[in-house]
Amino acid sequence: MRRREVITLIGGAAAAITMPRAARAQRPGRVPLVGVMEPLAEDDPLGEERTQAFAQGLAHLGWIVDRNIRLERRFAVVASIERAQATAKELIALPADVILAQGTVALLAVSRETKTIPIVFTNVSDPVGDGFVASLARPGGNITGFSQYDYAIGGKWLSLLKEAAPAVARVAVIMNTVNPASRNHFRSIESAAASLGIAATAMAVSNTAELESAIGSFAAKPKGGLVMVPGATNVVERNRLIDLAARYALPALYTDPFFAPLGGLMSYNVDLSDPYRRAAGYVDRILKGEKPADLPVQQPSKYILVINLKTARALGLTIPLPLLASADEVIE
C-alpha cells in the first residue's frame, strides 16, 4: 500500500478550535475518513496547494485533520483508467466515508466502483453530459460536486488565441489520451474553428516523447498555434509545454491559470483552488447526514484571464488594448 500522507494544519484559527462543532456529528470512537484521489504526483506543489485548500475549508467547519477527521490521499491516479480504478477499489475497501475525486478520470473510476459511498468531485467539465449526475439541480445517486465549466468554453479559448495572435490559421489541440473529456473539448474547439478561419487538429499525447514529436511536427508549417485542453498530462508537463511553445514560436492558450505566470502566453480558466475549499462544505454536510443526491452541482461564476506580455513580445505579438483591458492579470 502506498504511504499515507496526513496534512496537519498548525496555528491560526484551526488550532484555536477546542470543541469543533463537526465533532458532535461523529459516532463515538469513529473518526470519519475521506479518500482523496489526486491526479498529480505526490511531490507536485500544485496538488499540495489544492489539498491544503480542502483541508483549510474543513478546518473552518471544525474538522481538524488527524484530530477528528482523516484524509487518505492517493497520487497520480489518472495515469490510466486501470490505475484509477485500482485506487478507487482501495479507498472503498478502507472504507472511506466520502471520496473526493479530482477530475473526470478519477470520477469515472470511482463511480464505476461504488453506488453507495458518497462522492464529491472537483474539476469535471460536464457531469450531466458525461452521465455522472441526472441534473445539476438534482444530481440523484451518490455523486455531487463542483464542475469546472461546460464544453462550450472551447470556442472562447480559440477566440482569445485568435484575438491575441490574428495570424494563427492552424491550431493543435494538445489532449490527454486517458481523459474522456478531452474528446469533447476538441469537438467544441473544432466547431468554433471554421468561423474563425482556423483549422483545428487533435493531438492526443500520453508522455514526453509523444509531446515533443507532435509539437515539433506541427510547427514545421507556418501560422500555427496551440490550445492545451484540461488534463493531468498537460499539468504534469507544464514546464515542457511552455518551453516547446517558446522553442517553436507558437502562440498558445493554456486552460489552467498557473501557465501564464510560468511563461505561457495566456491562460483562461477558473481559480482552481476555490472548488477544493467549497468541496469541504459538501463533505461536511454529507458527514452530518445529507445526501449527495440532494446537493446541487455547483458551477463556477468567475473566470480568470492572465496575459504574459513578456512572452507576447518574444513572439512578436502586440496584444490589442481591448484584450489587455479585459485581463484579470497582466504580467509585464
The CATH number of residue 259's host domain is: 3.40.50.2300
Pairwise CA distance, residues 183 & 226, whole Å: 16
pLDDT range class, residue 29, cuts 50, 70, 90: low
**Backbone φ, ψ for residue 144 (5° rounding):** -155, 180
Contacts of 156 (CB under 8 A, 6+ apart): 268
Whether 38 maps to a domain, the answer reads yes
**Which H/E stretch holds residue 235?**
helix 232-236
User: Are 116 and 225 found together in one domain?
Assistant: no
User: How many structural domains comprise the chain?
Assistant: 2
Q: How far apart are CA 193 and CA 330, in angstroms?
A: 26
Q: Is residue 5 domain-resident?
A: no
Specify whether 22 is located in the same domain as 121. Answer: yes
Q: Is the pTM of this model over 0.75?
A: yes
Of 175, 121, 176, the residue nearest 144 (C-alpha): 121
> Domain check: are 41 and 117 in the same one?
yes
Based on the domain organization, do 289 and 318 belong to the same domain? no
Q: Which residue has the cell 462544505?
A: 281
Backbone torsions φ then ψ of 21, nearest 5 degrees:
-65, -25
What is the rounded distance in angstroms from the CA atom of residue 127 to the CA atom of residue 162? 29
The answer on 20 and 100 residing in a single domain is yes
Helix (H) / strand (E) element for 57: namely: helix 45-60
32 pLDDT band (50/70/90 cuts)?
very high
Give the rounded percent of residues in the chain with a pLDDT score beyond 90: 66
- Tens digits of per-residue pLDDT, 249-297? 999 999 888 899 999 999 998 887 889 999 999 999 999 999 999 999 9
User: Are 271 and 120 spatial neighbours (Cβ–Cβ below 8 Å)?
Assistant: no
249 and 278 assigned to the same domain: no
Is residue 247 in some structural domain?
yes
Domain that holds residue 260: 153-269+303-331
**Does 122 reside within a domain?**
yes
- Edge-to-edge strands, sheet with 170-176: 199-205, 170-176, 224-228, 252-254, 266-269, 304-308, 329-331
Alpha-carbon distance values, 45 to 51, 52, 77, 103, 104 (Å): 10, 10, 16, 17, 21
Give percent helix, percent strand, percent coil of the chain, each to the nearest 5.
40, 20, 40
Q: According to the model, what pLDDT value does residue 10 have?
A: 32
Q: Do residues 63 and 25 both lie within one domain?
A: yes
CB 251 within 8 A of CB 168: yes
Q: How many residues does the chain have?
A: 332
| Residues 285-307 pLDDT 10s | 999 999 999 999 999 878 899 99
Say how many CA atoms lie within 13 Å of 97 toward its Cβ. Answer: 20
Report pLDDT for 108.
Answer: 94
Residue 20 confidence (pLDDT) above 90: no
Non-local CB neighbours of 10 within 8 Å, separated by 6+ positions: none
Judged against a pLDDT cut of 60, whether residue 3 lies above it is answered with no
Taking only the tens place, the pLDDT of each residue in 134-144 is: 999 999 999 99
Residue 1 has a pLDDT of 40
Considering the domain boundaries, does residue 318 fall inside one?
A: yes
In a domain, 41, yes or no: yes
β-pairing, 143-147 vs 170-176, is unpaired
Does residue 7 fall inside a structural domain? no
Q: Are residues 168 and 314 in the same domain?
A: yes
On whether both 224 and 313 belong to a single domain, the answer is yes
Strand, coil or helix: what is 29? coil
**Per-residue pLDDT at 13 exceeds 80:** no
